[in-house]
A and B are shown apart, each in its own frame.
Chain A
């Protein structure tokens, strides 16, 4: 149904969603499609009442059919189903809210064991309330702006499961304390660290990590691009550089740490070099492979159009290799995260990796978890940003390649 199919309803021109007779949000249903839907309902066993099968023949747009479709979904061919099933049908699209209510109920009405150190404020309850407000406000915000009609909050099941997991963890720690309190702090305490230690955690530590990551990633990516382009376009460069890449590339960057710590004047420079190295290898391999795989005919065409060598490199070879270059940069980005964390844990006396390791040594596991959450959110944002940039650059690939 439309409710469970956010992908197809986001793209009304998608032929599959247009052909799907049950997808009422993609396009106003034609009478033939409606009867098709009704027949499908009958095949299911229960005779479908006529009004139930026609939530959208009035031709309303996708945004307005969101709620009616959800409401109509339950009675569609299920008039004699038990009350429980009907209730489940009604809750379609509202599971996250239900899960949040459960979490709030557990947090508020179930007393803690008291074996965890208390926190100053009810951070978890505040967090759950804010989340609840967000999930309640989202449909209203969507309805306010019809042009964003298709843009519903996808992944209801996932959000519900996440909050359920949080509730289970909350019960296992704060409410029952069935797992060791010192290694598994309550969500309340982790949130407390995030809020109270925000300045040091995010501004100081994350800022230091970001400087190192940016310097390492961009110098490594630049070096990788230059190496890859040289290998792709120059035979001598390929002869000399290919063996070097084959020998040095597969060595995990972290294996260089003993050498790098003594070879570089500062640990910061050493860590920067390690990150650059971990980005350089996949980027150069993928760039050269991308350029070598460009159909020779493209170069021939461009030469008959009057393009000289340099022009061919920058306006044929590199754009054609872009999809593979991005694959290389993506692998490089993932490797650079790994290298950054490792370098900060063993050498650099600053940054979020160092913070996590330091707090672990102090047995402050709430801070360790807070650090991990900051790391996860940061890297998630960076990867999302990366994909946005890639989609912008590779707009010509839309509908051709997916990864």
Chain B
């Protein structure tokens, strides 16, 4: 396991020693949804017969109710890691557990939201959201949940509409409701806001935080957006490619709600860019008069 490293200068806030749940008092530590990843490796074969090591010996713990973001350049294995947690891929080596139970196949207990909303176009929004209930054969008992979750994501009036009538942001909300209606212990988000415009993205970030506060779900989010990671996460896992591994784990020392424009925020943002080697050419003081 890679030890959570703060990597944060003392000038910025007070880093809490215990990451995750403790930094969010609204989420009790007894909530289920703890993920344990041990020495996981995954290799893919390319069509040319070569092999690519997507993940090498990755270990990670996600606390119950924690908001974790995975960030890194493409090819660093962050999406692969998410798909392994979802159960859509099997690891070549190592183990993944959710609340002490081995993850072997996809399951309604681990919801997944992709960048593309992937709403079923042949079902209206109500039936899209109800899909999980029907798949688990509980629709008869729990159909009142559909309206409740549509309301939760602000789509209360759109149940009868078909997906192609929705904007990107609304479709992604519906997709969230569809994943949440199964009341998963873990919600996995694979760049869910990547396809949205900047303003919709920011309001959706607040939406996700609100849903998390209401539903107390462990969330693991893959993102390319450093600002998004700093704004949302309790901890940020920085990954690097070739082979994909965890470079650093940063604890975000701010409470919520957060401001996007404080010096602390910008400092942490710069720190992540430095780790990823994307800070640009820095030489001497930035401003000279």
Contact A315 B114 (CB under 8 A): no
Report the interface size for chain B: residues with CB under 8 A from the other chain.
29
User: Which of A108-116, A175-183, A316-324, A334-342 is the contact stretch?
Assistant: A316-324
Contact A297 B116 (CB under 8 A): yes
Q: Which residues of B contact A394 (CB under 8 A)?
A: 122
A399 on the B face (CB < 8 A): yes
Which B residues between 109 and 154 are near A, CB-CB below 8 angstroms?
110-112, 114, 116, 118, 120-124, 131-132, 134-136
B90 on the A face (CB < 8 A): no
Contact A304 B106 (CB under 8 A): yes
Query: Which of chain B's residues has its CB closest to A297's CB?
Result: B118
User: Which among B87, B106, B136 has the greatest number of chain A C-beta atoms within 10 A?
Assistant: B106
B108 on the A face (CB < 8 A): yes
Contact B110 A322 (CB under 8 A): no
Contact B132 A396 (CB under 8 A): no
Kindly state the separation between the CA atoms of A285 and B63 in the bound complex, as whole angstroms: 50
Q: Which residues of A contact B116 (CB under 8 A)?
A: 297
Kindly state the separation between the CA atoms of A98 and B121 in the bound complex, as whole angstroms: 48
Contact B136 A301 (CB under 8 A): no
A40 on the B face (CB < 8 A): no
Q: Which residues of A contact B88 (CB under 8 A)?
A: 300, 303-304
A158 on the B face (CB < 8 A): no
Contact B135 A396 (CB under 8 A): no
Choose from B122, B132, B178 the contact partner of A322 (Cβ within 8 Å).
Answer: B122
Contact A306 B108 (CB under 8 A): yes
Contact A305 B135 (CB under 8 A): yes
Q: Is the interface of A mostly helix, strand, loop or mixed?
A: helix
Query: Which of chain A's residues has its CB closest to B83's CB?
Result: A300
Kindly state the separation between the CA atoms of A397 and B120 in the bound complex, as whole angstroms: 12
Total A-B Cβ pairs within 8 A: 71
Report the interface size for chain A: residues with CB under 8 A from the other chain.
25
Q: Which residues of A contact B132 (CB under 8 A)?
A: 305-306
Distance to closest chain B CB from A355 (angstroms): 43
Contact A300 B106 (CB under 8 A): yes
Q: Which residues of B contact A302 (CB under 8 A)?
A: 131, 135
Kindly state the separation between the CA atoms of A394 and B122 in the bound complex, as whole angstroms: 8
Q: Which residues of B contact A395 (CB under 8 A)?
A: 162
Knowing A300-B88, A300-B106 are in contact, say whether A306-B123 is a contact too (CB < 8 A): no
B179 on the A face (CB < 8 A): yes
Query: Which of chain A's residues has its CB closest to B164's CB?
Result: A400
Query: Which of chain A's residues has its CB closest to B114's CB?
Result: A297
User: Which among A304, A306, A396, A399 has the greatest number of chain B C-beta atoms within 10 A?
Assistant: A304
A166 on the B face (CB < 8 A): no
Kindly state the separation between the CA atoms of A398 and B164 in the bound complex, as whole angstroms: 9
Q: Which residues of B contact A305 (CB under 8 A)?
A: 108, 111, 131-132, 135, 178-179, 182
Contact B112 A396 (CB under 8 A): no
Q: Which residues of B contact A399 (CB under 8 A)?
A: 164
Contact A316 B120 (CB under 8 A): yes
B86 on the A face (CB < 8 A): yes
Which B residues between 57 and 71 are near A, CB-CB below 8 angstroms?
none
B214 on the A face (CB < 8 A): no
Distance to closest chain B CB from A351 (angstroms): 38
Knowing A301-B114, A305-B108 are in contact, say whether A319-B135 is a contact too (CB < 8 A): no
Q: Which residues of B contact A304 (CB under 8 A)?
A: 86-88, 106-108, 110-112, 179
Kindly state the separation between the CA atoms of A400 and B111 in the bound complex, as whole angstroms: 29
A172 on the B face (CB < 8 A): no
Query: Which of chain A's residues has its CB closest to B116's CB?
Result: A297
Q: Which residues of A contact B106 (CB under 8 A)?
A: 300, 303-304
| Per-residue interface assignment for chain A, residues 200 to 240, with 1 indicating a CB less than 8 Å from any chain B CB and 0 otherwise | 00000000000000000000000000000000000000000
Knowing A298-B120, A304-B108 are in contact, say whether A315-B134 is a contact too (CB < 8 A): yes
User: Which among A315, A320, A322, A394 has the greatest number of chain B C-beta atoms within 10 A?
Assistant: A315
Kindly state the separation between the CA atoms of A298 and B88 in the bound complex, as whole angstroms: 12
A160 on the B face (CB < 8 A): no
Kindly state the separation between the CA atoms of A295 and B114 in the bound complex, as whole angstroms: 13
Which are the 9 A-B pairs with shortest beta-carbon distances?
A306-B108, A307-B135, A303-B106, A305-B132, A304-B112, A319-B122, A306-B135, A306-B136, A396-B122
What are 28 A-B pairs with beta-carbon distances under 8 A?
A300-B88, A300-B112, A301-B118, A304-B86, A304-B87, A304-B108, A304-B111, A304-B112, A304-B179, A305-B111, A305-B178, A306-B132, A306-B182, A307-B131, A315-B131, A315-B134, A315-B135, A319-B120, A319-B122, A319-B123, A320-B120, A394-B122, A396-B124, A396-B162, A396-B163, A399-B164, A400-B121, A400-B164
18 new A-B contacts, CB < 8 A, other than A305-B132, A305-B178, A315-B131, are A295-B118, A297-B114, A298-B118, A304-B87, A304-B108, A304-B110, A305-B108, A305-B135, A305-B182, A306-B136, A307-B135, A308-B135, A315-B134, A320-B120, A320-B122, A394-B122, A396-B122, A396-B164
> Which B residues have a C-beta under 8 Å from some C-beta of A?
86-88, 105-108, 110-112, 114, 116, 118, 120-124, 131-132, 134-136, 162-164, 178-179, 182
